[in-house]
Amino acid sequence: MADDVTRDAAAASKAGVAPAAWASRGSRPRSVDSGSPWERFGWVMAAVWLVFLIYPLMALLRSNAPQPWIVTGWIALGAFVVVYVAGFMNGMSFGGGGLTSPPKPIQWVAFGSMLVCAALTIPAVGGSALSFLPFIMSFASYGLTRVAHWITLSACTAIIAAVVFFVPNGVSYLPILAIIALLGVVNTVSTTLIIRSADAERVGLELATSEGREAVARDVHDLVGHSLTVVSLKAQLVRRLIDSDPERAKAELADIESLTAEAIAGVRATVAGVRSAALAEQLVSCRDALESADVAMRVEGDTGALSPAQSLTASWILREATTNVLRHAEARTVTVRFAPGKLAVIDDGAGYGGGEGNGVRGMRERATMSGAAFAVRADRNGGTHVEVTW
């Protein structure tokens, strides 16, 4: 009997740790149509370890119990295997596990069926029925709730302890008690890590969503703010010219129509996440907008001094800086300076007051995201000096 118990202890060790290691699939949603072979067939790894139920199987072959109990034992053993594998298939392939989502009712039914099957083998196999406990513990840990994990761990530990201390020759079951305790630690630690990983993944998704919304809001602010500022200036010009110079007024109205169409297209493209602006095109657009407000633009250097990645950020900052000039600076001249790894926008207007509105914050954020240093200050000749350096 002691030899049988020793073999059962070894079996429980291997059978217990394996389900704990292989049963969990983390926190990702399960889909039967998943392209990952693991998502479809990972449960096979849990099923492989059922080979260690050979010990109750051998005990059934050697059993001297009444025939009805032996037949019952065979049926219960087969049913246990089917329920165990089906339970993991349900939990892994269809999201029925309880680690990161409530377990489906079928999981509770499977767990109860496993308990019944294990209990029905006891009259025929005796102590070899303890080999079922690691599988039951792992199923509760990975397929049910945390409360079920703790209750099952406590119950299995209490059962083995009762056998060790109160059953004649029970000390021979002491190795199984150690195995159950070790498996309890492994299951507890691994499921805790899985839950934390799922929480981190969820927080990461929420953060990415928030950052995406901020990016879209910033893009829309920059685009619409600039366009509406230019439209407002042109509308004022049209009001002044409509009586004295109708032809010029019509031209300005055509510009307003074109600007609004561009803004609408830009907003749509921004929301779709596919809009980009060429720096040279943006420079022309800003020049036109400034000229509409009777502000001259001087360009020093060439847009080719910046790399394509730098040009994308520079185009946004040039747009926003131009918008700020039109709104606040009351300038007569704007100088746009290009140099390798550097963009500067300098006006001769009212000067920088030191505050940071949405426009300046947006420019600073865009520069930071592209790995550039951003500075805005009062220019030594008066006006405002905006500079981005990579």
H helices of the chain, where?
A: 2-22, 37-41, 43-48, 54-62, 67-93, 105-125, 133-143, 146-166, 174-244, 246-272, 279-292, 308-324, 358-369
- Tell whether 137 is covered by a domain: yes
Domain boundary among 205, 221, 240: 205
What pLDDT score does 15 carry?
36
Same domain, 162 and 29: yes
Residues 193, 325, single domain; the answer is: no
pLDDT of residue 345: 92
Query: Is 197 in the same domain as 300?
Result: no
Which of 2-16, 57-71, 76-90, 199-213 has the weakest average pLDDT?
Answer: 2-16
The pLDDT tens digits of the residues spanning 130-155 come to: 888 888 888 888 778 888 889 988 88
373 DSSP β-pair partners: 389
Structural domain of 90:
2-205
- Record the tokens describing residue 71, joined without a space: 């037949």
**Residue 353 within any structural domain of the chain:** yes
Residues 302, 175 share a domain: no
Q: Are residues 159 and 12 in the same domain?
A: yes
pLDDT, greater one: 25 or 63: 63
Residue 258 resides in a domain: no
Give the integer Cα–Cα distance in Å for 337 and 192.
Answer: 56
For residues 209 and 28, the model is more confident at 209
Residue 49 has pLDDT above 50, yes or no: yes
The answer as to whether 20 is a domain residue is: yes
Mean pLDDT value across residues 287-297: 87
The domain total for the chain is 2
Confidence of residue 24 (pLDDT cuts 50, 70, 90): very low
Q: Which residue has the higher pLDDT, 177 or 36?
A: 177
How high does pLDDT run on average in the chain? 75
Residue 199 belongs to a domain? yes
The 10s digit of each residue's pLDDT in 109-129 is 888 988 999 889 889 888 778
Residues 207/37, Cβ–Cβ less than 8 Å: no
**Model pLDDT, residue 298:** 92
Q: What is the pLDDT of residue 58?
A: 86
Of 146, 174, 205, the one marking the end of a domain is 205
CATH number for the domain that contains residue 388? 3.30.565.10
In this structure, the number of other CB atoms found within 10 A of the CB of residue 38 comes to 12
Going across the sheet that includes 384-389, the strands are 296-300, 333-339, 342-347, 384-389, 373-378
Examine the pLDDT at 7 and tell me if it is beyond 60. Answer: no
Question: Where do we find the tokens 């025939």?
Answer: 67
In a domain, 367, yes or no: yes
301 part of a folded domain: yes
Q: Does residue 327 form part of some domain?
A: yes
300 and 201 fall within a common domain:
no
The domain boundary, picked from 205, 239, 254, lies at: 205
pLDDT for the residue numbered 6: 38
pLDDT tens digits, 375-387:
888 887 778 899 9
Rounded Cα distance between 89 and 83, Å, is: 10
Per-residue confidence at 188, pLDDT binned at 50, 70, 90?
A: confident
Residue 3 banded pLDDT, cuts 50, 70, 90: very low
CA nearest 220: which of 320, 343, 367?
320
Asked if 12 and 120 sit in the same domain, the reply is yes
What pLDDT score does 47 carry?
67
Whether 29 and 169 share a structural domain: yes
Please indicate, yes or no, whether residues 182 and 321 belong to a single structural domain of this protein: no
Per-residue confidence (pLDDT) for residue 344, from 0 to 100? 92
Whether residue 327 is found in the same domain as residue 193:
no
Inform me whether the pLDDT recorded for 43 exceeds 70. Answer: no
Q: What is the pLDDT of residue 212?
A: 57
Average pLDDT of the segment spanning 164-185: 79
Domain match, 90 and 200 both = yes
Residue 157 to residue 169: CA distance in whole angstroms: 18
Which one is predicted more confidently, 360 or 44?
360
For range 157-170, the mean pLDDT: 82
Q: What percent of the chain has pLDDT over 70?
A: 74
- Work out the burial of residue 145: count CB atoms within 10 Å of its CB; fewer than 13 is exposed, 13-18 middle, 19 or more buried: middle
DSSP code, position 50: G
